[in-house]
Amino acid sequence: MFQKAVDGQQGLSERQIFELLDVPRSTLQHWLDRKDNIDEYPQLVDFLESPVGVAFMHRLVLAAQFVITMVGPCGIRLVSLYLELTGLDRFVAASYGAQQKVSSQMEKAIVKFGDDECARLAAGMAPKKVSICEDETFHPETCLVGIEPVSNFIFLEKYAPNRKAEEWTNSLNEALADLPVEVVQCTSDEGKGIVHHVEKDLGAHHSPDVFHVQNEVVKGVSAALAAKKKKGGKDVERAEKEVVKKTAEQEAYFSSKQHAGRPPQFDKRIEEAKEKEAEAKKLLEAAQCHQEDAKNAIRGISRDYHPYDLETGKPKSAEEVSAALEQRFAEIENIASEAQLPDRCTARVEKAKRVQPSMVATITFFFVTVGAKV
């Protein structure tokens, strides 16, 4: 604006120019001095201080802010570093405070653009039935989040005083007030608030998400099995060292010229050490097998909890899914029993298993819904 005023108002006095720009006279004088002392090529200074150059520089700074801080996972300090490394800090304020103001304004503009676009597109949108995924995040305040998984459109992202059913329902209804959509299914964890909000308040079908089912099983058995495997490895290492030690004692004894009395039963000692070594290796192998089998069974839950066979593409009935999930949990329970895991571990497996009927019901819901549409 300063350059436009200077270029467009030739013949004006300095007082008239700073009054036109509504800036202090000292600021105008600083601008004039700065332009004459910029440590850059004169041609570049002339371009970037021209109206076209200023507009280009604005676009460049906004693009850096958008890509680095909005699209990418980085922060304002990297924008400042970018401006310093490109030498643009000679023409535009690169401090954190200055760029933070730009970032704040951009965030507000993006939010407003999103609100405006949502209202514009909703006006011409045909009524639609949708599924949503809901969960809470904490940073550290409780934030309720709802997203439509096909389009990745975030319906809801709101800080809330709690995560009770009433709060969920009110927040979602507010978020969907201007959208012609009906929520018919929701996937989430088994939190009582979310489940009540979906089934009772929305009258929709609730589907357990596979992550929390698997995560509960992992908490139950994976750490305990890993600890047994680690202990088994240490036991094998100690047993191997004991065999080496007994063998060395035998060699040292017979290599010595002086022997008093009957020689120790070295062969028996070595044999006993080797037997302990073999037993330790057997236990380690069992622990390794238990860990690998548990991983496969836990991964298998995600493959079974699906309306189609992921290898053949054939549809799976609810009965088939139920039988497959039952088999997976039975495998995990057998592993826990063979590995002699404590009760707290099997309790977590039982907790995850209680969700199985809801998982099977989701398969039934899927095919009923698809059949109705077709």
pLDDT at 285: 95
- Does residue 100 lie within any of the structural domains? yes
Last residue of a domain, one of 101, 119, 137: 119
Q: Tell me the pLDDT tens digit for each residue of 199-211.
A: 999 999 999 999 9
**Do residue 175 and residue 152 come from a single domain?**
yes
**Do residue 99 and residue 65 come from a single domain?**
yes
d(CA 154, CA 132): 9
Q: Tell me the pLDDT tens digit for each residue of 224-236.
A: 999 999 999 999 9
pLDDT at 1: 44
**Do residue 222 and residue 102 come from a single domain?**
no
Identify the CA nearest to 362 among candidates 166, 150, 190. 190
**Do residue 193 and residue 222 come from a single domain?**
no
d(CA 267, CA 244): 13
Q: Tell me the pLDDT tens digit for each residue of 248-276.
A: 988 888 888 776 778 888 899 999 999 99
Sheet holding 205-208, edge to edge: 153-159, 142-148, 128-138, 181-188, 205-208
- Does residue 139 lie within any of the structural domains? yes
Last residue of a domain, one of 71, 91, 119: 119
Residue 374 has pLDDT above 70, yes or no: yes
Rg of the chain in Å (alpha carbons): 35
pLDDT band at 13 (very low <50, low <70, confident <90, very high): confident
**Do residue 24 and residue 62 come from a single domain?**
yes
Establish whether the linkage from the previous residue to 140 is cis, with ω within 30° of 0: yes
Contacts of 47 (CB under 8 A, 6+ apart): 53
Q: Tell me the pLDDT tens digit for each residue of 110-166.
A: 999 988 988 898 888 899 999 999 999 998 899 999 999 999 999 899 999 999 999
Considering only residues 240 and 259, tell me which one the structure prediction assigns the higher pLDDT.
240
Tell the residue number behind the tokens 């509504």, with chain if given.
Answer: 22
**Do residue 14 and residue 89 come from a single domain?**
yes
**Do residue 246 and residue 355 come from a single domain?**
yes
Residue 8 has pLDDT above 50, yes or no: no
pTM score, two decimals?
0.71
- Does residue 259 lie within any of the structural domains? no
The average pLDDT across 54-68 equals 92
Considering only residues 11 and 111, tell me which one the structure prediction assigns the higher pLDDT.
111
The average pLDDT across 275-293 equals 95
**Do residue 280 and residue 194 come from a single domain?**
no
**Do residue 238 and residue 369 come from a single domain?**
yes
The total number of residues shown for the chain amounts to 374
Last residue of a domain, one of 72, 94, 119: 119
- Does residue 307 lie within any of the structural domains? yes
- Does residue 260 lie within any of the structural domains? no
Q: Worst-scoring range by mean pLDDT, 13-27, 76-90, 218-232, 245-259?
A: 13-27
Number of domains in the chain: 3
**Do residue 236 and residue 270 come from a single domain?**
yes
- Strand-strand pairing, 205-208 and 181-188: parallel
Contacts of 44 (CB under 8 A, 6+ apart): none
**Do residue 240 and residue 286 come from a single domain?**
yes
pLDDT band at 18 (very low <50, low <70, confident <90, very high): low
- Does residue 177 lie within any of the structural domains? yes
d(CA 225, CA 230): 9
Strand extents, DSSP E, 201-309: 205-208
- Does residue 270 lie within any of the structural domains? yes
Which residues are 139's β-sheet partners?
A: none
**Do residue 225 and residue 368 come from a single domain?**
yes
Sign of CA dihedral 146, 152, 155, 159: positive
Tell the residue number behind the tokens 């550290």, with chain if given.
Answer: 140
Considering only residues 333 and 48, tell me which one the structure prediction assigns the higher pLDDT.
333
pLDDT band at 28 (very low <50, low <70, confident <90, very high): low
CATH number at residue 150: 3.30.420.10
- Does residue 242 lie within any of the structural domains? yes
Domain range for 40:
2-119
pLDDT at 139: 86
